Chain A
Amino acid sequence: MERIPILRMGDILLVTIQVDMHDQLALTLQDDLSEKIRATSARGVLIDISALDIVDSFIGRMISTISGLASIMDATTVLVGMQPAVAITLVELGLTLPGVRTALNVDRGMRLLNERADDES
């Protein structure tokens, strides 16, 4: 079965979405990620959507769900790399992704997650 790979980097899980996701694939990612957070005790999840041309309400909801789920499992989610056209479209669609942290790129997202880890130690 087709899957989005989840990479582990220390305490952080990195997900780079590079395909036009059909709905089932998005749901599989949601399940895989929660399982992986449990298995690795990850403290942060970085979702890179720089390769996505569109984010519709289904994918938006998936991102919100992952973020909420991760939060309950004591992990912070940061969404990075959203293209400007996608951001404009999302706002007009009425989807503002409440509760989802964002950063402009992977570098800044990593920094955000590491700062949180430092704050706690």
Chain B
Amino acid sequence: MIVRDSGSQDVRIEQHIVLARQMVRKLAVQCGLRLVDQTKLITAASELARNAVIYGGGGAMDWAILERETRTGLRLVFRDEGPGIPDLGLAMTDGWTSGSGLGLGLTGAKRLVDEFELDSAPGAGTRVTIIKWT
């Protein structure tokens, strides 16, 4: 797997969620993802960016354009130094939320992408990695 290009975008305040979406849209087009896949990835990014802002107290989105054989992928890593998630199994349950949301952010985002990885522990922040391939 080759990383062709990479960068980072702050996701600290609510306005950054919109910027993250716009960034992901631009990159998804650049990767050649078809429209439905662009829409899915942008939506997943929006959910995860909001989680980072609301539950993680702000963080960042690292992006990378990947190449594997004939396919191109866009990898997004949302990381924060927030309180972390004590029970990962519970957090991955549809409809469960520690806040006032719908509880669809993490589980919904997972369904919208090809690869999903959640890494978190109490006090150690949260890191969510998603990839969408062409």
Contacts and interface: CB of A to CB of B under 8 A. Distances in A.
Contact of B50 (A23, A85, A92): A23
B52 to A, nearest CB: 13
Interface stretch (B1-9, B15-23, B76-84, B122-130): B15-23
User: Size class of B's contact patch?
Assistant: 20 to 34
Nearest to B100: A61
A85 B39 contact: yes
B25 A93 contact: no
A112 interface: no
A22 B107 contact: no
A23 B42 CA distance: 15
B42 A57 contact: no
Given A88-B39, A89-B36, 7 more contacts: A53-B39, A57-B102, A61-B102, A86-B39, A88-B40, A89-B39, A89-B43
Interface of A: 20-24, 53-58, 60-61, 83-86, 88-89, 92-95
